[in-house]
Chains A and B, each alone.
Chain A
Amino acid sequence: DQQVKQNSPSLSVQEGRISILNCDYTNSMFDYFLWYKKYPAEGPTFLISISSIKDKNEDGRFTVFLNKSAKHLSLHIVPSQPGDSAVYFCAASIQGGNTPLVFGKGTRLSVIA
């Protein structure tokens, strides 16, 4: 049973517009969430994280929103750039222990110039 779900396998967005990537989770114990970005032939690269004590975290063009009641988080990229084209993975864990990260299957984002 998947605890972290990314229901959209792919997303296409025009350059300059907003990209919104979604992630749902089922385990209410998760309290730390991360987004990773992966280019072909490279390993995932950490992008941004959020703890459950917050509902928003922003870093430049990237903002992550957390809705605990809906068990949903999203990554907003604005403005989207062609270099943002990659696979984005959502991951979740439980702080305070050694619980490993649980990853979603990823969403492939294509930013069209």
Chain B
Amino acid sequence: GAGVSQSPSNKVTEKGKDVELRCDPISGHTALYWYRQSLGQGLEFLIYFQGNSAPDKSGLPSDRFSAERTGGSVSTLTIQRTQQEDSAVYLCASSPYGGRGLGYTFGSGTRLTVV
């Protein structure tokens, strides 16, 4: 597609349930990023994939969060045993460069609400 596609656009889940968020990057983009946007907290980096390299997981807030990227394309962010503080908008971005912040294209995000 022409842009970064995220699904679902909205997700309401009960506390304690697991959720999976999907990101389809722009074809050919080697770098893929996940961010979390919470009210008053700006954009918080979660995880970064670059080509076939091991992902940079330094931003994941707890071991309940994990992500994978299959075949260098689609990525899934999984949150296990969701908590109310996980409620946020989860943004995915892809880039053809993988360095110095250039060429990022962001998706519209998944709004997660944990009740």
A, B co-complexed? no
A residues with CB within 8 A of B: none
The residues of B with any CB-CB pair to A shorter than 8 Å are none
